[in-house]
Amino acid sequence: MISYLLRDVRPYGEGAVDVRLAEGRIVEIGRALTEGDARVYDGEGAVLLPGLVDLHTHLREPGREDAETVESGTLAAALGGFTAVHAMANTDPVADTAGVVEQVWRLGRESAHCDVAPVGAVTVGLGGEHLAELGAMADSAARVRVFSDDGRCVSDAGLMRRALEYVKAFDGVIAQHAQEPRLTVGSQMNEGVNSSLLGLTGWPAVAEEAVIARDCLLAAHVDSRLHVCHVSTAGSVELLRWAKAKGWDVTAEVTPHHLLLTDDLATTYDPVFKVNPPLRTSADVDALRAGLADGTIDCVATDHAPHALEDKEAEWGAALPGMTGLETALGVVALTMVAPGRLTWRQVSERMSSVPARIGRLENGPQPQGRPLAVGEPANLCLVDDTLSWAVDPAASASRSRNTPFAGRRLPARVVATFLRGRPTVLDGKPASS
């Protein structure tokens, strides 16, 4: 196996050093290291971060390989600096059995450009009526620890309680897509001034907040672990602050798109801006940024949701909700959080690597992820040029889908290299294999 010497890189954006990778690990960190037989990669002062970990990726395989595959989605992930992604369960067939999660896990092992941790469905077929075989998925080769009906809410309180109780046996977590279905019938966008002006059915903040409040109480009642997906409102941040103050084991994620975009974009009627939960107001965006900065929101997760052209390029009402996000996540976080001084690179690495890895129980797994930059740790790394801004070009994406809401925007900070256990998956900003 080739060893690499990364010259002139800045771990966590701090002082410049050289870093040697060998046998899949970081073996030496210091100044002016000798080359030996290593291949030298000149970092030119780039920021070195632990490989990013996504808790929320839709890879669409099995079932919608026209929109994304494990291969294409993980290449997009690697280009975005990720070394592990959690693959959401709303595939076809749904990942609700040990057989399906093992299939996704095996595809990851065979074809992926990063590690793939399958998420198991909470209920059979995402139907919301019967618990899936959570224990069998946990015991399978895929070692599932995160369970979610994402795309749909586990709205039945009794079922949610039983799911929270069930996963305690294997240290699992229920990742809830918080959306009270009775409050969002026919909803098309955020309920507010813009939905009134446009005459589109609104998705009110309370539909998210009511479920978060209920689930925090349920998790506390049975002393289990809850994770809240894609938090989108200021009120949700308040509820999480309350739950954390109580000492409850509740974590939450925010997406890059909810950190940057608002429901003003719905006035374009361009369905690339249709997403679930919907884009909210600038007051919500401010609260989400503040919550991510102060740790009330634990981590960033992409909710990368690729869609085929025919599903997305329809009129607003008919288009499916969802946006791609793996390749742009770090750039959007750099723009919204690092550039304004709200997060240091070290804090970004917590919120995009170590914390999501811990929530998904990957940090001590057989292939550890989210580990610190230190000698002896697995060489899962990304190198970020924070002096290079770039314009997002949907046509240049490695994803099979093109539905990025950031097309044409300039983002600061570009991923120039990614290493998975010492092997480059991305070099000079391009797939390492090509």
Q: Which is nearer to ligand DOR, 5 or 88 (CB)?
A: 88
CA 314 – CA 301 distance, rounded (Å): 27
The yes or no reply on residue 177 touching ligand DOR (CB under 6 A) is: yes
Q: Which of 7, 20, 25, 58 binds ligand DOR (CB under 6 A)?
A: 58
- Alpha helices by DSSP H, listed for 13-156, are 70-79, 98-111, 134-139
The yes or no reply on residue 212 touching ligand DOR (CB under 6 A) is: no
Closest distance of CB 88 from ligand DOR, Å: 7
Residue 154, token pair as written in the block: 């586990």
Residue 93, token pair as written in the block: 């067939």
Site residues for ligand DOR, window 342-361 (CB under 6 A)? none
The yes or no reply on residue 150 touching Zn ion (CB under 5 A) is: yes
Phi first, then psi: what are they for 264, rounded to 5°? Answer: -60, -30
* Residue 58 partner contact from ligand DOR, Zn ion, none using kind-dependent CB cut-offs of 5 to 8 Å: ligand DOR
* Residue labelled with tokens 């994402």: 150
Q: How many residues bind ligand DOR (CB under 6 A)?
A: 10
Q: Which of 57, 90, 324, 349 binds ligand DOR (CB under 6 A)?
A: 90
Q: Which is nearer to Zn ion, 161 or 177 (CB)?
A: 177
* Cis ω for the linkage preceding 93 (within 30 of 0): yes
Confirm if 95 and 118 have CB atoms less than 8 A apart. Answer: yes
* Residue 412 partner contact from Zn ion, ligand DOR, none using kind-dependent CB cut-offs of 5 to 8 Å: none
CA 252 – CA 240 distance, rounded (Å): 8
Q: Which is nearer to ligand DOR, 153 or 287 (CB)?
A: 153
Closest distance of CB 296 from ligand DOR, Å: 22
Complete DSSP assignment for 201-223: PEE-HHHHHHHHHHHHHHHHHHT
Q: Nearest to ligand DOR by Cβ — which residue?
A: 322
96 counts as catalytic: no
CA 434 – CA 352 distance, rounded (Å): 27
Q: Which is nearer to Zn ion, 255 or 404 (CB)?
A: 255
Sheet holding 250-254, edge to edge: 146-147, 173-176, 226-228, 250-254, 299-300
Q: Which of 172, 321, 370, 378 binds ligand DOR (CB under 6 A)?
A: 321
Closest CA to 198 of 257, 287, 271, 110: 271
Helix or strand or coil: residue 54?
A: strand
The yes or no reply on residue 322 touching ligand DOR (CB under 6 A) is: yes
* Residue 50 partner contact from ligand DOR, Zn ion, none using kind-dependent CB cut-offs of 5 to 8 Å: none
Residue 50, token pair as written in the block: 């632990």
Q: Which of 305, 333, 392, 398 binds ligand DOR (CB under 6 A)?
A: 305
Q: Which is nearer to ligand DOR, 303 or 363 (CB)?
A: 303
CA 234 – CA 264 distance, rounded (Å): 17
Residue 234 to residues 137, 210, 307, Cα–Cα distance (Å) = 35, 13, 28
The yes or no reply on residue 256 touching ligand DOR (CB under 6 A) is: no
Confirm if 5 and 41 have CB atoms less than 8 A apart. Answer: yes
Q: Which of 73, 80, 151, 325 binds ligand DOR (CB under 6 A)?
A: 151
Closest distance of CB 275 from ligand DOR, Å: 4
CA 262 – CA 264 distance, rounded (Å): 5
* Cis ω for the linkage preceding 204 (within 30 of 0): no
Catalytic member of 115, 303, 311, 386: 303
* Residue 90 partner contact from Zn ion, ligand DOR, none using kind-dependent CB cut-offs of 5 to 8 Å: ligand DOR
Residues of this chain that bind ligand DOR (CB under 6 A): 58, 90, 150-151, 177, 275-276, 305, 321-322
User: Which residues are catalytic, by number?
Assistant: 303
Residues of this chain that bind Zn ion (CB under 5 A): 150, 177, 229
